[in-house]
Amino acid sequence: MNSAELIKQIEQKRSFLCVGLDTDISLIPSRFKTEKDPIFAFNKAVIDATLPYTVAYKPNIAFYEALGPAGWESLQKTMEYMPKDVFSIADAKRGDIGNTATKYAQTFFEPARAGFDFDSVTVAPYMGEDSVTPFLQFENKWVILLALTSNPGSNDFQQMKDENGIPFYENVMRKSMEWGNTDQLMFVIGATRTDYIAKVREIAPDNFFLVPGVGAQGGSLSDVAKFGMNSRVGLLVNSSRGIIYAGDDTSLSAAREAKKVQEEMNQLLDQYYK
């Protein structure tokens, strides 16, 4: 999906919500557990319930890999079921030397390989340019690079300052912006880091940010929009547990929670976009 199509979806649905499919067999309601493929049945119910309110889905690959081959199969079925006009994110947080990175990119971007045709993959920047550029060779596909993450450990390395006082996350952003353009490179900026969102928007005025950390992790959606929205919206805000595990009747509870977020996003778009 290219940026014009993504922005069109946001404008049509008045939403920049990304629903995280962090599907955990131990957390899904019991009625799904009698299904042949409980993970897929649950994801299907979540997609059906939330589709009017969301522009993106982000399966976290760990939740599927942890189940072995059956998990991959559930993920493949989920991706086949997912409508093509929503933006899809393989949250895999990959990062390795160039020829290995190429294999990761093929896994998620080339349907003839593993059966996946994701729009984007999350990538860890620690290994540098040759670990990221293989993902940038695919038309209308995106790299979502970890910059300033939502977890407490993000202070360990991301905030480390160089001899000029520039934090590591800022160097990651500035350097990686030389590798890919704003139609193929997004950054992960945690919603729990709202004190930094104005700053990262200054560093990357035109890039999209994937912002996880609202909902279960407590980040503020209105602050994210206030400081992070740009002239093409520039935000995809993810919520996983806060939407998919909001109640025992997934069809009702996921729809209710996604709608609540979408209504707030609609107002924020009125306020900060158009």
Ligand X SMILES: O=C(O)c1cc(=O)[nH]c(=O)n1[C@@H]1O[C@H](COP(=O)(O)O)[C@@H](O)[C@H]1O
Q: Is the CB of 8 or the CB of 124 nearer to ligand X? A: 124
Q: Which of 9, 149, 184, 262 binds ligand X (CB under 6 A)?
A: 149
CA distance 260 to 239: 12
Residue 44 C-beta: closest distance to ligand X, Å = 19
Residue 170 C-beta: closest distance to ligand X, Å = 16
- Return the exposure string of 143-178: e unless at least 16 CB atoms fall within 10 Å of the residue's CB, then b: bbbbbbbbeeebeeebeeeeeeeebbbbbbbeebbe
The stretch near ligand X (CB under 6 A) out of 31-39, 67-75, 233-241, 256-264 is 233-241
Q: Which two tokens stand for residue 177?
A: 């912006």
Residues that bind ligand X (rule: CB under 6 A) add up to a total of: 20
The stretch near ligand X (CB under 6 A) out of 125-133, 172-180, 194-202, 232-240 is 232-240
Which residue number places its CB atom closest to ligand X? 149
Q: Which of 213, 228, 229, 268 binds ligand X (CB under 6 A)?
A: 213
Residue 75 C-beta: closest distance to ligand X, Å = 14
Q: Is the CB of 155 or the CB of 271 nearer to ligand X? A: 155
Instruction: Give 212's strand partners.
Output: 238
Instruction: Give 143's strand partners.
Output: 121, 185
Residue 222 C-beta: closest distance to ligand X, Å = 17
Under rule CB under 6 A, residue 215 binds ligand X: yes
Q: Enumerate residues 106-125 that contact ligand X by CB under 6 A.
A: 122
Under rule CB under 6 A, residue 158 binds ligand X: no
Under rule CB under 6 A, residue 220 binds ligand X: no
Q: Is the CB of 59 or the CB of 180 nearer to ligand X? A: 59
- Return the exposure string of 80-113: e unless at least 16 CB atoms fall within 10 Å of the residue's CB, then b: eebeeebbbbbbbbbbbeeeebeebbbbbbeeee
Q: Which of 199, 241, 256, 260 binds ligand X (CB under 6 A)?
A: 241
Helix (H) or strand (E) run with residue 4 in it: helix 3-13
CA distance 167 to 179: 20
The strand pair at 142-148 and 17-21 is best described as unpaired
8 catalytically annotated = no
Judged by DSSP in three states, 94 sits in strand
Under rule CB under 6 A, residue 217 binds ligand X: yes
Q: Is the CB of 27 or the CB of 252 nearer to ligand X? A: 27
Q: Enumerate residues 172-191 that contact ligand X by CB under 6 A.
A: 188, 190
Q: Which residue's entry shows tokens 């160039």?
A: 98
Q: Which of 107, 207, 238, 250 binds ligand X (CB under 6 A)?
A: 238
CA distance 15 to 7: 10
CA distance 270 to 253: 26
Q: Which two tokens stand for residue 63?
A: 């939740």
Return residues touching ligand X (CB under 6 A).
20, 22, 60, 91, 122, 149-151, 188, 190, 212-213, 215-217, 238-242
Report the catalytic residues.
Answer: 93
